[in-house]
Amino acid sequence: MAGWLLVWEMAATRRWISPLFFPAPTTILRTLLAYSASGKLVADLAATLGRLLMGLMLGGSMGMLLGLLMGGSPRLRRLVDPLVAAMHPIPKISLLPLVLIIFGLGESSRVVLVAVASFFPTVINTMTGVQQIPPIYYEVAANYQASPLTVFRRIIIPGSLPMILAGWRIALNTALVITIAVELITAREGLGAAIWLAWQTLRTEHFYAALLVIAVLGLGSNGLLHLLSAWLIPWQRQDHST
Amino acid sequence: MSGFSCQRLSKTFFAHNAVVPALESIDFRVEARSFVCIVGPSGCGKSTLLRLIAGLLPPTSGCVCFDREASQDKPRTALVFQEHGLFPWMTVLDNVAFALVGQRQGRREGRRLAQAQLERVGLAGFAHSYPHQLSGGMRQRVGVARALLANPDILLMDEPFGSVDAQTRLVLQEELLNLWREQQKTVVYVTHDIAEAILLGDRVLVMSGRPGRILADIAVPLARPRMLTAVDSPEIKDIKWRIWNMLESEVRANLGTSSAPFS
Ligand SMILES: Nc1ncnc2c1ncn2[C@@H]1O[C@H](COP(=O)(O)OP(=O)(O)O)[C@@H](O)[C@H]1O
Ligand SMILES: [Mg+2]
């Protein structure tokens, strides 16, 4: 990694490659420091994180709730599943115009679209997670006269938890994509907006600085979720591939 | 008290437009505190029969009638599942304590009793392990420990030591017989192993191939306590042969009438 950076640095400073497209790593680092010193970085990061987390929590928890209900009730599943299956493949960013019409040009539209994108992975994974619980566990529960609440808390939730968390991970990554995409198109602050501004003013080093922050954000949030999973499902041997 | 009888008990499954008659007119009686073994070819409905007795499945016709005075509750049953049914997400301790979720103890008291139970069966050191960290034999023992903690009147066991090596099985059988002697429970024990059935049971019920019927009800003339390694009297050998002959013809009949699995 360090070697590649060194090669890039040399290539850029000696103008083997155009520094307009590929500015030197040191230039990018300097820009990043200035970006951070001006307070703009914190503001953009806060805006992006705010939308990401709000949308993810909103859409993810609604998806999880509906997924649990659909997993538990075949009738509800038959009713709602065709709808989910039909809407799931639609790239959620293409719903932006519709969302803008309904929720206006403000912040709520952005959060709603992130929520919609987070909803589908969690609803599908949660439902599948509940369905794939082997029936014998319900028999064991009946064998010991467990109440419906006990079955829910101690069998349905932990039994589907690995799938639920996998759903949240997909939701997180989809939400990040949608957040940045929405910011590119509609926002004035946020990391996506910073990228768009860098393009419009042709300051590629600003583009790379924002990109770097997004990459760190993606890696960091995935890492956190991985730790959370390991902590929530201690009975599963964690494999180190992701 | 905790005896029961199955009366003209039948079970038919309706699955994917197929009609599967699993059990047909099963009739037998189990006396309180007796140890009854059931053998039969695989797929003949042994697990289904235990589920009917445990009340986990409704019969298609007939009934499982428990002996009781008008004022008494139905005697409690606990089934040790063939697939042992331990929850992978619970520690061994919580799995065993799960036996008490339907009873009045709090969670903490349940855990305390489960810990004591694990100590009794020599698994105290594994209380905080997860099932996947245990050997097959240990998992089976946890399944049995859980059922015993529920303190049922009738203990139903479905090939509980099926996936255990022969030496371990001998130890587990000894343990089970000791427990049975101490706790005076009624036990119905399903196995596909004829020798095991004779070793453990007061009686052996032999089932036919599907749909399962009772072919024979054989008393085992062995005194208790039994030496598990010393059962080769001519009389016992004779019983073994009788059961084997019945099962062999059932198995052959099944192979012959099934729709040519190898063509
Ligand atoms: N829930 C079910 N639905 C449909 N068929 C079943 C079900 N459970 C068992 N069967 C069928 O009933 C028969 C008896 O099964 P089982 O009681 O498990 O046999 P055994 O325990 O003697 O091997 C088998 O043919 C099996 O396929
Ligand atoms: Mg079986």
pLDDT in tens, B220-250: 888 888 876 666 788 888 888 999 988 888 7
In this structure, is residue A202 part of a structural domain? no
Question: What CATH number has the domain bearing residue A142?
Answer: 1.10.3720.10
Are A144 and B54 in contact (CB < 8 Å)? no
Q: Tell me: pLDDT of B259 over 70.
A: no
Instruction: Name the residue facing A143 among B79, B103, B132 (closest C-beta).
Output: B79
CB of B146 sitting under 6 A from ligand 1:
no
In this structure, is residue A152 part of a structural domain? yes
Q: What fold does the segment set B4-76+152-255 form as a domain?
A: Rossmann fold (3.40.50)
The DSSP secondary-structure symbol of A14 reads: T
Contact A159/B at CB under 8 A: yes
Contact A149/B at CB under 8 A: no
Which listed ligand is nearest to B17 at the C-alpha? 1
How would you class A17 by CB atoms within 10 Å of its CB: exposed for 0-12, middle for 13-18, buried for 19 or more? middle
In this structure, is residue A120 part of a structural domain? yes
Residues in chain A with CB shorter than 8 Å from the CB of B98 are 140, 144, 146, 154
What are the structural domain ranges in chain B?
Answer: 4-76+152-255, 86-151
Q: Are A209 and A26 in contact (CB under 8 A)?
A: no
CA angle A88, A92, A93 (to 5 degrees): 165
Mean pLDDT of the B48-53 span: 96
B147, closest residue in chain A (CA to CA)? A144
Ranges of H-type helices in chain A = 2-13, 25-37, 40-72, 74-87, 96-103, 107-131, 136-143, 148-151, 157-186, 191-200, 204-232
Tell me the pLDDT of chain A averaged across its residues: 92
Question: Cα of B22 to ligand 1 centre, how many Å?
Answer: 6
Distance CA B126, CA B146 (A): 14
Please state the ipTM of this predicted complex. Answer: 0.88
Q: Tell me: pLDDT of A218 over 50.
A: yes
Residue B158 CA, closest ligand 1 atom number = 21
In this structure, is residue A16 part of a structural domain? no
In this structure, is residue A147 part of a structural domain? yes
Nearest CA, atom 1, ligand 1: B13
In this structure, is residue A226 part of a structural domain? no
In this structure, is residue A200 part of a structural domain? no
In this structure, is residue A214 part of a structural domain? no
pLDDT in tens, B178-196: 888 888 899 999 998 898 9
Question: Cα of B50 to ligand 2 centre, how many Å?
Answer: 9
Nearest CA, atom 16, ligand 1: B45
Range of the domain at A118: 45-187
pLDDT in tens, A69-84: 999 898 999 999 999 9
* Residue A239 pLDDT level (bands cut at 50, 70, 90): very low
- What is the reported pTM? 0.87
Question: Cα of B54 to ligand 2 centre, how many Å?
Answer: 14
CA angle B64, B65, B67 (to 5 degrees): 145
Which of the residues A133, A138, A144 would you substitute to probe the B interface, choosing the one with the greatest number of B C-beta atoms within 10 Å?
A: A144
Question: Cα of B88 to ligand 1 centre, how many Å?
Answer: 24
**Structurally, how many domains does chain A consist of?**
1
Distance CA B208, CA A129 (A): 39
